[in-house]
Amino acid sequence: QLWRYGHLCLRSLLYNSFTNGDVVLDSLFEPVYWLVDHVTRWFGVVFVALVIGLTSSIVAIVYICLLPLILQTYTPAWICWHLAYGHWNLIMIVFHYYMAITTSPGHPPQAKDNLTGISICRKCIAPKPARTHHCSICNRCVLKMDHHCQAAWLNNCVGHYNHRYFFSFCLFMTMGCIYCSISGWEMFRDAYAAIEFGRRALSLGLFHTYYHPPPPTFSFRERAFHKSVVYLWVLCSSVALPLGALTLWHAALITRGETSIERHINKKERQRLQKKGKVFRNPYSYGSCDNWKVFLGVETPRHWLTRVLLPSSHLPHGTGLSWDLPPCVTEQRAPLLAI
């Protein structure tokens, strides 16, 4: 009886009618959530330093090793092409990367009186406009949040005000890596062959005899040149593949007028309405071409040059609090979720 009484008292202290398997699983994973919220945010600082160091090393190799060789061996037309395109691509990468990591993605106001007709964030207990989501790493809501970017080495949330900078950085970095891989292919092949031949000669112990000529001897500068070219090509080629896939993924989302978070939400909504015989329509999509115009901020034809092909710090359309029809949209679509 004492055992049963003690057991009953213990259960009465720990009993909760809302407890189930999901609650227990969330409680067990609470240390993991804490680790994500407090530790992984420092990973972004390491990634920023890493991307700056790797990019600087590639630029240094190009200027120290490859550029003098290009000036000596290439024709004037090819020299002008490499100088013009290479420096333009580099400027676009540096500009958009700097803007992406320093520009705030945008946050809704904390005052509840400023906005009406919107929901309230359960974590911030503050107004939550349309397309706004709460970032657990930043611990605040972000306007038109796409994701908290650490994989692309930004250490910043990607939202309304820096989404274009993030995508442009990925695009121009991919273009730069492909440019270096294609331009340096012949140099990479020759450098790798020289390193491999010298290594095999040393491993086989080929000495200077009548049948075996001596292996070529390279100076320290030549060996450093060969290894630098191999390092440049391998790094650029390995970065171009995943970063190019990420760029294509975001390009598809932009074409559909969605963010990474909205893709999952719209997919579930599309499946739910499909069971009811209805068709889902994204209220923030204006067509493929107009979606790109809205995203890039192209309002006139000259903006393709001044805002897309040249560095531009223009603001995106709207404030992120409301989503009115942009002026560059040719046709107004009915703002219906389903028909």
Residues with catalytic function = 149
Residue 96 phi, psi dihedral angles, 5° rounding: -70, -30
Q: How many angstroms separate the Cα of 30 from the Cα of each of 17, 26, 148, 232?
A: 20, 6, 20, 42
Residues 51 and 149: their CA atoms lie apart, in Å, by 13
Contact 105, 145 (CB under 8 A): yes
**Torsion sign (Cα): 104, 106, 112, 113:** positive
Contact 116, 170 (CB under 8 A): no
As beta bridge partners, residue 280 has 338
Find the DSSP H helices in 65-138. 67-73, 76-102
Instruction: List CB contacts of 48: < 8 A, sequence separation 6 or more.
Output: 101, 153, 154, 155
